Amino acid sequence: MASHVEVRELTPTTRKVKSRGTRIGDFVIALICLLIVLACLLPMLHVLARSLSSADALIRGRVSLWPVGFNLQAYQLVLSDAKYTWSLVWTIILTAIYTGVAMTMTILCAYPLTYDKLVGRRLINALILFTMYFNAGTIPMYLLLKDLGLLNKPAVLVIPNALSVFNMIIMRSFFYTIPASLRESAEIDGASPFQILVRIYLPLSKPVLATLALFYAVARWNGYSDALMFMNNRTYHPIQLLLFNILNAVTSIEVATQEGFVTPGMSETLKAATVMFATVPILLVYPWLQKYFITGATLGAIKE
C-alpha cells in the first residue's frame, strides 16, 4: 500500500491573517518600549529645561520640557564653586576605588565556591546567604565602625559595603556555566587555581564582570546614606549627599546664601542644574558597557 502524505499549504488568506497578527504584535511591543522610554526621558528633559530656564520663568511655572528664558547662570555657578567640582571629582575617585575593591571581593568570594572539593563549601554558602536576610542594623553597624576607627574616614565609604551577596551569587552562578572540562584540562597541564581564574574564568566572564561593575558603580554613585550617617567631614561628602543637602537645607536666608541661592527661582534653577551635574557622568558609562550585556558568556570556548 502506497503511503499518502497530505501536504497542506497556507492559503493567501491565512498568510495575510498571520502577517497581520505579527504586525499587531510588533506594534504593541514597540508602543510599550516607547512608553518606557518616555517615562524615563521626560523627567530628565524636564529637569534639564528647569536648569536652563530663568528664575522668573520658574516662579511663574512656565517651564515644562523646553527652557524658557534660556541662561547658563546656574551651571556657571555650579562649575565656579569649588565644593561642587571637588565633590564631583571625589565621587568619581570614590566610585572607581569602590568598584575595584568590590569586584575583587566578589570574584575572590565566588570563585572558590565553584570547587566541589572545597571543605565546608555548603556551610560557607549558608552563612553567606544568611546575611542577605538578617543584619544587625544601623546602630550596631555604627558602633562597630566606631570601634574599628573608620568613622569620618574615606574607608568608611568603601569597606562596609565592599561585597554584595546578591552580586556574588550572580557571579558564582555564571562561573558554574563555564565548562568544567576547561578547568580540568588546565589542572592537568599544571595550572594553579589562581592561574585558572586569571587565564580562563575572567576572560570568559567579561559580560557578567561588566554588568556587576556597573551595578556597583551605580550603587556607589547614587549612595549617600552611609556618608550621611558615618561621615561628618564635608570634604569627603559624595555628590549625592551634597545634592541631598541642597534639596533639603534651603530653610533660611543664611543657608540659602551659603549654598549660592539668591532668589527662590534661582534656588530651583540651581537645584535642577545640580541634579544634572550629578546625573550625567554616570549616564555616560552605560553606552560603553552596553555591548557586554548582549555578549555570549562562553561563545567559542569549546570547539566541536
Find which of 52-66, 96-110, 220-234, 243-257 is predicted with most confidence, using mean pLDDT.
Answer: 96-110
Q: Is the pTM of this model over 0.85?
A: no
For residue 261, the model assigns a pLDDT of: 47
Give the span between the Cα atoms of 69 and 212, in whole angstroms: 42
The distance from CA 63 to its chain's CA centroid, rounded to whole angstroms, is: 30
- Nearest CA among 186, 188, 214 for reference residue 200: 186
- pLDDT category of residue 108 using cuts at 50, 70 and 90: very high
Residue among 126, 102, 104 at smallest CA distance from 223:
102
Instruction: Choose among 234, 239, 209: nearest CA to 221.
Output: 239
- Asked if the model's pLDDT at residue 264 lies above 80, the reply is no
Model confidence pLDDT, tens digit, residues 40-80: 888 888 888 888 887 777 777 777 888 887 878 778 777 77
- Evaluate if residue 106 carries a pLDDT over 90: yes
pLDDT of residue 99: 93
Contact status, residue 238 vs residue 172, Cβ threshold 8 Å: no
Q: Percentage of the chain with pLDDT > 90?
A: 14
Domain 73-294 coded CATH 1.10.3720.10: yes
Residue 194 CB-density burial (10 A; 0-12 exposed, 13-18 middle, 19+ buried): exposed
- pLDDT classification of 7: cutoffs 50, 70, 90: very low
Q: Show me where the domains of the chain are located.
A: 16-59, 73-294
Residues 6+ apart with CB under 8 A from 138: 229
Q: pLDDT digit string (tens) for 149-202?
A: 888 899 999 998 889 999 999 899 888 888 888 888 888 888 888 899 999 899
pLDDT of residue 293: 58
Q: Write down the pLDDT at residue 18.
A: 55
Q: Is the C-alpha dihedral spanning 272, 48, 241, 138 positive or negative?
A: positive
- Sequence length of the chain is 304
The answer for residues whose C-beta is within 8 angstroms of residue 52's C-beta and 6 or more apart is 67, 70, 71, 72, 74
pLDDT at 17 exceeding the cut of 80: no
CA-to-CA dists, residue 73 to 15, 52, 55, 293, angstroms? 61, 8, 10, 39
